[in-house]
Amino acid sequence: MKISPANLVLGTLCLIGGGVNAFAPSHRHQRLSVADRTTSALNVNIPRLELPGAIADQLMELDLKNPNNMDAEEYRSYSGAAIAGTLLFFLLPGALVSGLYGNLGPVAIASVLDFAFSALIGGGLAIYLSLRSDSIGETVREYGYKLLSAVKDATGIGTLRYDLPSAVTDVMTGDLGLVNPNSMNEQDYDGYSGAAVAGTLAFFVLPGALLTGASSVLGEFAVSALIDFVFSALIGGGLAIYLSLRSDEIGATVNQAGAKFLDTVDNVIGSDPKMLE
């Protein structure tokens, strides 16, 4: 059986598909069987993808292992090798070919300008509204509290609280008639902080990006990143997959490296086991 270029590309994309969602966080209420997903020690969950028979047959003709017949540990190692190969190629040769690094400078400058502009305008307006002592302030703080609570529940990050200088609070409470953040209870302070973050992000995404020109720069960067990823998945990921499916010492070494790569990611993400229900 002859292997056409189209089949090789399709096969590589299908093989990569077993690992592209590897870094997705597990959800407590998600119910999956053991056969549907291979779970690593901590947070990295590897979706298991059954390859079509035509691709599996071509792998066997090349004297390569069939991922459909792998146990959980073997599949995890093979997936880790595919992800690591894609990532390594993405960071160096792929980024150079796609021009990704050339766009980093303009992206950084545009993002800083956009953020500064958004923090002053969008964040400043949200802070003013959240510190009002009327119903508008209560409503804005309520929505800010809900937003920040959702973020804290998802990330486990606590609220960073600091007191404003008296020179600032005197102007806020005297001339402007606003509430003093230093005297707020925890819920009101979270609402005020959440409103400031929401106002900054909302302005950052749309009006700030348009006014500072960040949208066009980020668009070019996104296109470069997409080209880099596709190129890296086909070349770097495809090569890593081929090597990991070999049944010799080379395959064993590549699979060992793939398993160590996922173990390292696990250690970076967190230390508490998260099991799927």
Domain regions of the chain by residue span: 5-100+229-269, 103-219
Q: pLDDT tens string for the chain (277 positions)?
A: 444 444 444 444 444 444 444 444 443 333 333 344 444 444 556 677 788 888 888 888 888 888 888 888 888 888 889 888 888 888 877 777 766 776 677 777 878 888 888 888 888 999 999 999 899 999 999 999 988 888 887 777 776 788 888 888 888 888 788 989 888 888 889 899 889 989 888 888 777 777 766 777 777 777 878 888 888 888 888 899 889 999 889 989 998 998 888 888 877 765 443 433 3
CA distance 35 to 17: 16
Reduced to 3 states, what is the DSSP secondary structure of residue 239? helix
- pTM of structure: 0.47
Which residue in this structure is represented by tokens 């970076």? Answer: 268
- CA 160 distance to own-chain centroid: 23
Sign of CA dihedral 106, 107, 110, 115: negative
Crossing angle for the helix pair 186-205 and 135-155, to the nearest 10 degrees? 80
